[in-house]
Structure 1
């Protein structure tokens, strides 16, 4: 139960409990001392035949009882006030003591993939918080180095694979030009061509994902012509499955690089077509809101389970691995989309399309 309470509140509760126990104990001891004192006062002197006075125990005077009640009330009130004042002082003292930890937590929350290499400023105090900050900066530096090595490896591997892949593609094209009526040979050539195409797309996605994709210069990108060009490129795939691509006519535009944005919507539309059943519809809508522009790519496929809707934008994630491999997906397309959109200060999310399918929603700030 206490573990779910913030550290500052926990510290205040523990200190308040300590104050309460201490004050109650002190109050009980004070009351016991007061009782003994009143009993001693009740021992009155008496004389017998002019002899030496002796002490004789007589009943306490009734007038003394109200004084004892007043004493009890005052000690109780004092106990409550001391505990209350101590709790308030402890709360603010805990806030002052824990401020370096709170500042460190805020700085840690600001760190992401883009600024891992930016170290957190060290506090002036030479305490545990300073040592924790040094350890965190070291961890972030190692993590940044690991990310850079991973990106460099992906880019170098993709570049190195391009050359032998191009040679294989050229050899296969030459072989396809030769007259060969053997159906088994033709079947093998078609299979090799399909796998080469799949490998080429994987390498291209790896290159896109490993790039930093800087925005050299933003220009107006008209959305309707962009969507039409992408739909034209995918027309043969859509025609094979008898899928209709509907694009809402619009005069809206966004600021960015058309080459990068074309890649985004090509990936989104390609996924919508590939994962939709035959004889269905894929539509693209554009809606201008007060502070942003909403673009939706809507399909009528199987949809994405709720638990996977945030993970689909992670590299190499697949909702259904066997189905993705059969269709030819490599798990990088949506990750590339997210990366490019982040460069444009835009966001992407997926929602269900009732009764069937998914809605990929892209939000551009105004």
Structure 2
């Protein structure tokens, strides 16, 4: 957690510190330049005011008065004639002569700046021309000591440094809380995935919000729940299959030992061999069903769809299964209109119906009736298999399509069920893009509805 929080915090700090540094530098430069520009404008304006007075009264008394006025201010003035000879001055410094001697061949009427390098020079300065009757007669030079400006900038720098320090502390504080807030759910997710990788799926990740982190937490939680369910299903499956395989193998081994070691009559021998054959067939069917389910799980179960005329198909089903129903003194009734086609794998569709009809035979009493009805609803084709057998308890209905699940567990061996038939039916129907539902009431009967997408053509 510390490493992740540190990395996130460092990343945020570098980004925010860079933005703050750029912003502070830009604001500082802008404020400094703006402040110096304001001082130069004020200096130029003051020089132009003196120039206006001198143009009306370009006399020694006026010149002296102007110089005296500036000697009491924080600015200085120097008045020269056209040849730049000093006529009056409020400052006694040889430095100002350098500014006066600078060439200024054509000074505009509004004046101009002749010194603005406040960082390296002692003064900033401006010059304004003095004219009478359109003729140039002298200049007004204004000066301001840059020490005052540098003091102002220094105070501004201190304020910026203080603001920057506060901003950095504030940024670091926010980043600490923010990085922890972001890292905490990520660390929990990391711990959860590590726990899942070790086979422990009992993780709990609360949804942190309607954002990407919340969606990620929910996805990990769903993954853990699914893996937990699959683990339980695998355990139950292995337990069931070991039990189901052990039972017929026990019968086969036991009766084979009897046949081999005992002196039996021909009738007894045939009886035991018949049991061995039945258990071998049961074992063979179970293995075949397991292979089918394994292929379905691996998406390697081939479904070869072809157009099937359901009227002819159901007639063949009726002819094939009627003897089995008659042998049990039961009735099989098939109702299918003509001109109904379904794109499906004929052998797999027959396998689906066989499994359902086989259940009807097993779980119906003599004189029972099973009806197959085919109908079209909108673009869907519905195949319904309904019997009036013993039915399924309501609380068992949600589980009948689970593998190895059997409703009548006490009679299963006598009836020959393995608990795989309905699981295969459901998977085969889903492989065709269809659905299956069941309705049942005890001692009234059971109804399976299979819905397939019809041929739009």
TM-score between both structures, scaled by the size of structure 2: 0.43
Structure 1 residues 183 and 263 mapped into 2: Cα distance closer, same or farther (>3 Å)?
A: same
Q: Distance in 2 between matches of 1:134 and 1:302?
A: 43
User: What residue number does 2:420 align with?
Assistant: 332
Structure 1 residues 216 and 323 mapped into 2: Cα distance closer, same or farther (>3 Å)?
A: closer
- Between the two proteins, the alignment pairs up a number of residues equal to 229
User: What residue number does 1:190 align with?
Assistant: 274
User: What residue number does 1:253 align with?
Assistant: 341
Q: Distance in 1 between matches of 2:405 and 2:371?
A: 25
Structure 1 residues 261 and 305 mapped into 2: Cα distance closer, same or farther (>3 Å)?
A: same
- Which SS does the other structure have where 1:211 is aligned? helix
User: What residue number does 1:223 align with?
Assistant: 310
Structure 1 residues 221 and 144 mapped into 2: Cα distance closer, same or farther (>3 Å)?
A: farther
User: What residue number does 1:210 align with?
Assistant: 294
Q: Distance in 1 between matches of 2:308 and 2:382?
A: 15
1:139 aligns with 2:227: no
C-alpha contact (below 8 Å) 1:227/1:265 kept by paired residues: no
- Which SS does the other structure have where 1:352 is aligned? strand
Structure 1 residues 306 and 130 mapped into 2: Cα distance closer, same or farther (>3 Å)?
A: closer
1:292 aligns with 2:380: yes
C-alpha contact (below 8 Å) 1:310/1:349 kept by paired residues: no
Q: Which of 380, 390, 407 lines up with 1:319 in the alignment?
A: 407
1:282 aligns with 2:282: no
Q: Give CA deviations for 1:306-341 in whole Å, capped at 9, x if unaligned.
A: 222221111111111112222011111111111111
Q: Which of 238, 247, 271 lines up with 2:325 in the alignment?
A: 238
1:201 aligns with 2:289: no
**Post-superposition offset of 1:222:** 2.3
Greater CA deviation, 181-190 or 338-347? 181-190
User: What residue number does 2:214 align with?
Assistant: 129
Structure 1 residues 148 and 304 mapped into 2: Cα distance closer, same or farther (>3 Å)?
A: closer
Indicate the structure (1 or 2) with the bigger Cα radius of gyration: 2
1:266 aligns with 2:350: no
TM-score between both structures, scaled by the size of structure 1: 0.52
Structure 1 residues 312 and 354 mapped into 2: Cα distance closer, same or farther (>3 Å)?
A: closer
C-alpha contact (below 8 Å) 1:346/1:363 kept by paired residues: yes
**Higher-strand-fraction structure:** 2
Q: Distance in 2 between matches of 1:204 and 1:228?
A: 27
User: What residue number does 2:448 align with?
Assistant: 360
**Post-superposition offset of 1:365:** 2.6
Structure 1 residues 230 and 353 mapped into 2: Cα distance closer, same or farther (>3 Å)?
A: farther
Q: Distance in 1 between matches of 2:404 and 2:316?
A: 27
Q: Distance in 2 between matches of 1:291 and 1:338?
A: 21
Q: Distance in 1 between matches of 2:232 and 2:302?
A: 21
Gap regions ≥5 residues in structure 2: 1-207
**Post-superposition offset of 1:132:** 1.6
1:308 aligns with 2:396: yes
**Post-superposition offset of 1:223:** 2.2
User: What residue number does 2:89 align with?
Assistant: none
C-alpha contact (below 8 Å) 1:234/1:270 kept by paired residues: no
Q: Give CA deviations for 1:234-291 in whole Å, capped at 9, x if unaligned.
A: 4443232111211114322211211211111110111111211112221111111224
C-alpha contact (below 8 Å) 2:405/2:419 kept by paired residues: yes
User: What residue number does 1:43 align with?
Assistant: none
C-alpha contact (below 8 Å) 1:276/1:302 kept by paired residues: yes
Q: Distance in 2 between matches of 1:203 and 1:345?
A: 26
| Alignment RMSD (CA, Å) | 4.1
Which structure has more relative contact order (CA 8 Å, sep 6+)? It is 1
